[in-house]
Structure 1
Amino acid sequence: MSKIIYNKLPKSFSEQVELLEKRGLVIPNKQKAENILTYISYNRLSNYWFPMLKKPKEDEIFKDNSSFETIFKIYQFDSELRTITFQAIEQIEIAIRTQIIYHFSHKYKSGFWYENSNAFSKYPNFIQLLSKITKNVQETKQEYILKYRRKYEQFLPPSWKAFELLTFTSLLSILKNVQDNKDLIPIAKSLGIHHSLLVSWLESFIYIRNITAHHGRLWNIILTIKPEWLKSPKGKWVNRWENDYNPDGHSVEKVDKNDKILKFYASLCAILYCLQFINPYHKYKDQLLNLFDKYPEVDLYHMGFPEGWKEQELWK
């Protein structure tokens, strides 16, 4: 298929409302719709009405009785979902940072263990880590670092100070570059998973965290970075974390769990599973269930929720 030149002209907010109506969208309050489009772009909202389009979806004609109000409710739901999910992943990030500092400081009997190249498998990655920590220490205005530099001879602080400046991604890069994979065992155990899953799960958490931090969409996304299936749970878990969702509408039968399309439900399950070890008193599950009740318009199927998910131990 040959490409064509994009020549569509920008439309006013009122013209955008008219266009949606022409395509079959029910808009009970045009002024309200125009006000919403004034602050939430047409293109951004289009991600939330995609499942409401008739086939072929390229024609952008809405199914019967599709409503602008429903689209906006889903948008609000997604916004609140991002907020509570970001806070949930924050707890995991802090726990991983704590575990890394504790385990390796005790193993090497020094807070400066990260300056030892023998602790790492790849020297270039070790140098990158040192450079990152050095840059952070040079540029930070954090008082606890400034106080350290005024008092102590060593320029770089011990890991329990320096690592507070590292991102989740940098923490993961440390775990991916350890000299001995056995060092992952106690850290993974703190999350209730086998150490062979640690990198996969943390990569998926960082992926979701980055979406939330940049105001992306969690509802109806297909995971491009997905966690590996947990075979031997140490706590409450689920029998499956995928449904038979298929963007082409075809049934998906007898396919291995990790070959099926995974949506946000899989990440939710992984986050909830880890939180029961990190913080047994976390509120994330209650927040999710309250959010689902608050927005009955939201079809959880589009987030990958399988039939009978409420009966799973993890969700009780």
Structure 2
Amino acid sequence: MAKPPKTVQQQIQLLQARNMTFRNVADAPHFLSNISYYRLKGYWWEMQDDRVNHHFANGSVFEDVIDLYNFDRHFRLIVFNAIERIEISLRTKLIYHMSLSYGPFWYLDPSLFDKQKQFGFFISKIFRDMSSSSEEFMVKHFQNHPTENPESWKGLEVLTLGTLSKLYQNIKHQLPEKSTIAREFGLYNQKYLSSWLLTITVVRNIIAHHSRLWNRVIINKYDWPTSTPNPILSYVPNNHQRRKIFPLLSAILYISNEISPGHHIKQELLDLFNQFPNIPLSKMGFPANWQTEPIWL
């Protein structure tokens, strides 16, 4: 049975009836008028001591929910900035190495790819994306060269990280350029880069939809290398540990160090953690001694 809608005041009364307290209840209507009750549910979920009846444990404070929401908003922006660098670097390396070896239209050559069905999907998608693109360089290409395919340095510029990741994954493993790209990302084996990129894309899409990230369960499984040119963590995180953001965040930092030396992403994260000292980082998969892990030193 559908639940009836509630006014902001009714929402506040419901939270109070469920043992949520307010430091200043007069401020609550402002927050609930600009951040929906349903969106905030994800941030107060773990405050409940009875998740069937949605009763809050003693000490659950509405303003703490807002702090957690704001922490997550800033956290997503920092991670998104890091992922943007990864996306641009991947695009650049794909275009550079593959074009020099196989020409400007390599991305249209099925002999360079393993799975032909996946390649077919890619071809359909890229032509759809190119023809619908509002980017000036792409519009002008089709105006000036209506019967010619765009070179890879044009065509791949309109692809999403998800499509680029799948494109890289589908390149034949024996092609040396695939290994070269992995090494430039700081990984000995191309399978780890493929795995990481696909999972980073999942996180990127979570952020793009303004969804909660801080304690998100990462449902996409990814591999972890036993060794890397530079250390990341002092242990290989198991599958359970990889379900939280900490290992992948460490991987994102590691890649950032390789492709963007001198970046400020780690410092921005540390500053954010200091700004919100009451956020339970353990819910994000941070171990007790996380600050002693190599990538975080």
Shorter-chain TM-score bucket reads: over 0.9
Tell me which residue corresponds to 1:168. 161
| TM-score, normalising length: structure 1 | 0.88
Change (3 A) 1:136 1:7: closer
Which 5+ residue runs of structure 2 have no aligned equivalent?
none
Match in the other structure for 2:57: 63
Do the aligned partners of residues 261 and 83 (structure 1) sit closer, same or farther apart at CA in structure 2, a change above 3 Å counting? closer
Structure 1 residue runs of 5 or longer lacking an equivalent are 1-5, 243-256
User: Which residue pairs with 2:25 in the alignment?
Assistant: 30
Distance, in Å, in 2 between the alignment partners of 1:297 and 1:259 is 24
From 269, 273, 277, the equivalent of 1:292 is 273
Give SS of 1:258's match: coil
Distance (Å, rounded) in 1 between the aligned partners of 2:242 and 2:170:
30
Match of 1:159 in 2: 152
Structure 1 residue 260, shift from structure 2 partner: 4.3
CA contact (8 A) 1:241 1:269 kept: no
Equivalent residue for 1:46, pick from 41, 49, 56: 41
RMSD (CA atoms): 1.8
Task: Please tell me whether residue 115 in structure 1 is matched to residue 108 in structure 2.
Answer: yes
1:75-154 equivalences under 5 Å are 75-108=69-102, 110-152=103-145
Structure 1 residues 63 and 240: CA distance shift in structure 2, 3 A: farther
Count of residues paired in the alignment: 295
Equivalent in the alignment of 1:283:
264
Work out the CA distance in 1 between the residues paired with 2:264 and 2:275: 16
Question: How big is the shift at 1:200?
Answer: 1.1
Aligned partner (choices 247, 251, 257) of residue 270 of structure 1: 251
Q: Which moved more, 1:23-32 or 1:205-214?
A: 23-32
**TM-score with structure 2 setting the length:** 0.93
Worse overlay, 22-31 or 143-152:
143-152
What one-letter code is carried by the residue in structure 2 that aligns with 1:265?
Answer: F
> For residues 61 and 181 of structure 1, what CA distance do their matches in structure 2 show?
57
Shift of residue 181, structure 1, vs aligned partner: 4.1
**1:85 maps to amino acid:** V
The answer as to whether partners of 1:52 and 1:63 remain within 8 angstroms in 2 is yes
Checking the alignment, whether the CA contact within 8 Å between 2:20 and 2:62 is kept in structure 1 is: yes
The answer to whether the aligner puts 1:307 opposite 2:288 as a matched pair is: yes
Alpha-carbon contact 1:201-1:226 (below 8 Å) kept: no
Deviation at 1:196, TM superposition (A): 2.1
Counterpart Cα distance in 2 of 1:161 and 1:48: 42
Q: Which residue of 1 aligns with 2:211?
A: 216
Q: Percent identity?
A: 35
